[in-house]
Structure 1
């Protein structure tokens, strides 16, 4: 898999080997009990332990089988980590050498599992690009400026149940529309902040003066005429970069038609993930907590 592409869709046989694991939407589970989210920020010293913890979480809140889910999570984590390590090794992210760089760059992770019931919240797409998730300790354009080597940091994602993420095919029109929309949010937020100091509001769209719904709807209308969405099936693993000027424009799918289980993971050094956890005010784990 080309590690330089902003978006990659993995073939079925990358994670479902010779039919040992079937299509996730027909084998792993078919129903979610309630809204729930699992997050793990921490050292990845055991893919199996993290896979089992995530599988137990999903099985507890669905009609899925923990054993089958555990096998799938193991394959997913192994695929994502191997691909991420290959990118680190090929691009020599750090001066210690490619093998050591790969180990360092995938020593920790953020794994999230979002289980949802039907909602109308995303009938209108929430198109966006993912910004930087953490302060990089490697050379990359998201922190070091346009003259630095372009090192793509990425998320790996899959829908175990329900529709997949909506992703726009890249084009100059898409880039122009999302750039203008982001600028509109910044201008509105800056104008609001000039009027008053808003304590405790960290994000522009929480400011009452920023009409998020209007900006979101305007962008959705513009992108509807800008080209095609990338085609892939629910259950296929995708990789998309974050923090880059060409990172894919994407949105949650329309969730009004049924339950969904969405999984994503990103990797980094222990220092990078500790910093990310600290910024988000969540716990960083030295090992996977044992499910109670």
Structure 2
């Protein structure tokens, strides 16, 4: 199977699956032995493609990896002592999947190849190398010198790490890459595979020593800038793991793998890049639709956004305790149901594009959401929240770039229908962290919206309602706002509630005397997806993490 032909094609040479902890684990789990043990504990991932990239370059076609060989399905393909691999991974490869046959259907002989770039020697990436070299012994095969030193010169060790060295070609035209060429993006060195620089290899070690990725620049079309692709190999198994900065669970150097993920993300911030992992089921769509990992925002646009946000603000204004933003209809059938109750969250630096992509990935996995539409909706709402918070920060005389939205607590709650909130749990939000700015002007607010199901209940600001909430109940006891309280609900039922629609964002202050009274909505017959974000400085959010036992910069 293949993506419709363009400058870059994605070919699948079978499919694979693995234990979920093998695909990715948080970098906070740095103990290599514990990471390895965890790989035996999880369920199987869905089936994933075993991907190969075919580049239709003017000087001749180039392969990035050769995929798996159907020979791997036969007994004895890997050493018998590697039986443990069948516990962690499963492959399904048929003869029709073999790379030589797929090239033939495109009218390409192995002898036509300008070269083969091998990201690493694992069986599912170098399995077809033997068949190609038999037919074209002179074709250049590029891999990193570090990888050949670690695996090529130590085949038994390589077999223990997932290779099948007895199926490597005995003699082939090996070209070792040392990355002594010009810097590319955040990488200090690179190696050009083609003379025109359209195909360039960069080091992304960690998954294995000397792992490489390939940057591919498409031919420019009239009136358009050329697209840039990054064939990631196994630097990450999918874009969701890349966005969460989770290295795979079974590698020799989690810290180095983590640093490689950060370099890929930094490159994606510097320019528009379509990141293409070899095993991501979404890779064909990313390639077809030219889906950039992040949309590069020039500094001038960022400054314009800040200027627009503060344009109408008075320097001495105090934020309203409750604000309901103008609504914009959600796309039809954006999402209709969720599969299970699932909370997710993140403490760390704020990046609207990153958060929108990761959140959409998490929601889509547990629902029927249209992921790309969801990315656009989340991105729009997060930018709106950021701009409003910057405006409030400027009103409070803070430095908006350095503090106001540097960091955040981002939360997603997916819930199945429940009768838990038939009776409202009316409450106000207390102090989230020890503030480093004046209480009277700080943007101590949370932004929230629902993209499925009912929105938050909120009572319009009313001193009498606050007086009831903060006074003893008629029975003489304090209200228990941790549980639905029928007596309190009855006392507050006559106060007007805000009308909030799905997709409409609200902002409510916390730790203030007039912080809005609000509650979870009645979701008796409704699935719900609720999203909230709270901004603060890095020190404020790190303190919040310490207090809650969470890790700054990580998802939970």
Q: Same fold (TM over 0.5)?
A: yes
Contact kept? 1:126, 1:251, Cα under 8 Å: yes
**Counterparts of residues 125-164 of structure 1 (less than 5 Å):** 125-140=424-439, 149-164=440-455
Matched, 1:254 2:545: no
Contact kept? 1:6, 1:152, Cα under 8 Å: no
1:84 alignment partner in structure 2: 389
1:106 alignment partner in structure 2: 405
1:229 alignment partner in structure 2: 497
1:263 alignment partner in structure 2: 531
Matched, 1:173 2:472: no
Tell me, what secondary structure is at the counterpart of 1:41? strand
Give the drift of 1:152: 4.0
Consecutive unaligned residues of structure 1, counting only runs of 5 or more, are 17-21, 94-99, 141-148, 189-203, 206-211
1:245 alignment partner in structure 2: 513
1:218 alignment partner in structure 2: 487
Contact kept? 2:404, 2:536, Cα under 8 Å: yes
CA distance in 1, matches of 2:354, 2:463: 43
Contact kept? 1:34, 1:115, Cα under 8 Å: yes
CA distance in 2, matches of 1:103, 1:67: 31
Name the CA shift for 1:185/1:7 in 2 (closer, same or farther; >3 Å). Answer: same
Name the CA shift for 1:43/1:168 in 2 (closer, same or farther; >3 Å). Answer: same
Consecutive unaligned residues of structure 2, counting only runs of 5 or more, are 1-311
Give the drift of 1:58: 0.5
1:276 alignment partner in structure 2: 544
Structure with more contact order per residue of length (Cα contacts < 8 Å, sep ≥ 6): 1
Contact kept? 2:347, 2:407, Cα under 8 Å: yes
CA distance in 1, matches of 2:453, 2:472: 28
Q: TM-score w.r.t. structure 2 length?
A: 0.41
Matched, 1:121 2:407: no
Matched, 1:54 2:359: yes
Deviations 1:140-184 (A, max 9, x none): 1xxxxxxxx343411111000000100012223201111025994
CA distance in 1, matches of 2:401, 2:322: 20
Contact kept? 2:396, 2:441, Cα under 8 Å: no
2:276 alignment partner in structure 1: none
Give the helix-richer structure, 1 or 2. Answer: 1
Tell me, what secondary structure is at the counterpart of 1:67? helix
Q: TM-score w.r.t. structure 1 length?
A: 0.76
CA distance in 1, matches of 2:441, 2:353: 32
CA distance in 1, matches of 2:441, 2:397: 12
Q: Greater CA radius of gyration, 1 or 2?
A: 2
Tell me, what secondary structure is at the counterpart of 2:319? coil
Tell me, what secondary structure is at the counterpart of 2:470? helix
Give the drift of 1:43: 1.3
CA distance in 1, matches of 2:402, 2:441: 20
Tell me, what secondary structure is at the counterpart of 1:27? coil
Tell me, what secondary structure is at the counterpart of 1:113? strand
CA distance in 1, matches of 2:535, 2:443: 12
